[in-house]
Amino acid sequence: MARNGSGTYNRAVSPYTAGTTITAATVNSEMDDIATALTQSMARDGQAPAQANIPMGGFRLTGLGNAIANTDAAALGQVAALAGATMTGALGVTAGTAAAPGVFVSGDTNTGLFQPAADTLAVTVGGAEVARFGANGLQSAAPWVDLASATTIDLGAQTTDNLRITGTTTITGFGTVASGTVRQLRFADALTLTHNGTSLILPGGANITTAAGDTATASSLGSGNWVVTAFQRASALPFLNSMATARVLGRVTAGSGAIEEIPIGNAAAALSLGINRGTEQATTSGTAIDFTDIPAGVRRITINLNAVSTNGSNRMLLQIGAGSIANSGYSSNAGSIGNGGNTTNSSGNVTSGFVLHGYAAVAAQNSIGSIRLVNISGNTWICSAILADGTATVSVHISGGVISLGGVLDRVRLTNVGGADTFDAGAINIMWEF
């Protein structure tokens, strides 16, 4: 046996003794054993490769040349992974995927860097892409993703910065994520964001009711606390949540003389503290003409009639409402003077609306003039009107009345007593003031 399991060479025969005859068999046996040992050895000129792994027993291979193929042993100068070593050449790695990145930290194989496409580098965390870099720098990690609204909606658990919030569930929190995390939000429906001075800080320090298309930017403060740093209405009107009240010079509180605060219920009202005019409507059809876009905080309303007439003889009637038109609860009366003052008429008390004519009208007889509504206190409104008939026989109608609504006025209707006659000519418009 040329070598034992430890690599030790042992002679095949005992040592030769002087004066002893050496047989051919003995010499041949030892020479054959030496030949076998040499055959199992590696030639220094590389005539044959190793036939098994070669353990170095703690010793080094010295004098190595630089590796030029993937199967070559690398010299120390080529390896940058060793502590304290400096790499002087390029290091190439596999492109990898989001689930298995080409560069990762040992023990965490789904977090690191990978190449999703040429000239692009991406960062993956937990197997999900969170950022991508291209020729123009940082790109969005993912497209907009829908996220259903919930009492606590977990923004931090999402792998994209861009979230479209669906549904109408009231939101009181955004979940827990590291401080500094930012999310871009877009709302698909109307819902309420509930202000909290610690956990959900909203602009203006008040709840926000969203509308479809509204957008917001939310930033985590850590420990489940968030601040909404920006909110934009889809309507393009500025966000005025903090403008809960506005002061108007010249209007004072009765008795004290202090400047009164006017409650502003919406952005449209906040932007229009002067005289505002609605869209003119033709009064050529239908039994009622409605204006339903009156904002909260209005204190005076003027309705202008331009040659308005109906096809019947019922007196014209003005009605107002909060959420719906009030058809009762009015106290109103109207008087008319006609034919050069020779004829007078009175409507008597009417409770279904503010009556505008003192006498029964004539079909196609038009009315021209203005009706004024004034908020005298709370939700109590008084009405006064002066109208003239635009006919050959001129009459003048003077009327007044009062009603207390159950809520904030938001609509006005022009109709007629009984609501049976149809408008057939003219136009109507409305103006309001805060």
Residue 39 lies in a domain: no
Kindly state whether residues 178 and 135 are assigned to the same domain: no
Residue 131 shares a structural domain with residue 187: no
The answer to whether residue 204 sits within a structural domain is yes
Residue 401 is part of which domain span?
276-433
Instruction: Please report, for the domain that includes residue 211, its CATH number.
Output: 2.60.120
Please give the torsion angle defined by the CA atoms of residues 352, 357, 361 and 367, in that order, rounded to the nearest 10 degrees.
Answer: -120
Q: Are residues 342 and 420 in the same domain?
A: yes
Among 232, 257, 289, residue at a domain's last position: 232
How many Å apart are CA 28 and CA 58, to the nearest integer? 38
Residue ending a domain, among 232, 250, 267, is 232
In a domain, 154, yes or no: yes
Same domain, yes or no: 226 and 362: no
CA 293 to chain centroid: 26
Q: How far is CA 98 from the centre of its chain?
A: 27
Whether residues 125 and 165 fall in one domain: no
Residue 181 lies in a domain: yes
Pair 131, 151 in one domain: no
Tell me how far apart the alpha carbons of residues 276 and 411 are, in angstroms, rounded to a whole number. 15
Are residues 291 and 429 both part of a single domain? yes
So what's the pLDDT on residue 256?
Answer: 57
**Starting from the edge strand earliest in sequence, which strands make up the sheet with 121-125, in order?**
103-105, 108-114, 121-125, 128-134, 137-139
Spatial separation of the C-alpha atoms in residues 354 and 317, rounded to whole Å: 6
Domain annotation covers residue 58: no
- Residue 6 to residues 2, 53, 148, 409, Cα–Cα distance (Å): 11, 14, 70, 104
CA dihedral sign, ordered 41, 43, 49, 50: positive
Total tally of structural domains belonging to the chain: 3
Of 429, 305, 306, 322, the closest CA to residue 375 belongs to 322
Q: How many helices (H) and strands (E) does the chain have?
A: 2, 28
Q: For residue 407, what are its two tokens? A: 């809520």
> Is there a domain that residue 424 lies in?
yes
Six token digits for residue 254: 């009765």
Output the tens digit of pLDDT for each of the chain's 434 residues.
Answer: 677 777 788 887 888 889 888 888 888 888 888 888 888 888 888 888 888 888 888 898 888 888 888 888 887 776 655 556 666 677 788 999 999 999 999 899 999 999 988 999 989 988 888 788 888 777 765 668 899 999 999 998 887 889 999 999 999 999 998 898 899 999 999 999 999 999 999 998 899 999 999 999 999 999 999 999 999 988 766 665 544 444 444 444 555 555 555 554 444 444 445 667 777 899 999 999 999 878 888 889 999 999 999 998 899 999 999 999 999 999 999 988 875 555 567 778 999 999 998 877 667 778 999 999 999 999 999 999 999 887 655 688 899 999 999 999 999 999 999 889 999 999 999 998 88
Helix (H, G, I), strand (E, B) or coil at 173: strand
Q: Do residues 345 and 383 share a domain?
A: yes
What single letter denotes the amino acid at residue 32? D
**What are the φ and ψ backbone dihedral angles of 39, each rounded to 5 degrees?**
-65, -35
Together in a domain, 413 and 287: yes
Cβ atoms 126, 117 nearer than 8 A? no
pLDDT of the residue at 271: 47
Are 16 and 22 in contact, with CB atoms under 8 Å apart?
A: yes
Residues 293 and 417 in one domain: yes
Global pTM? 0.44
- Let me know whether 135 and 181 are in one domain: no
Whether residues 174 and 221 share a domain: the answer is yes
What pLDDT shows up at residue 340?
A: 52
Establish if 90 belongs to a structural domain. Answer: no
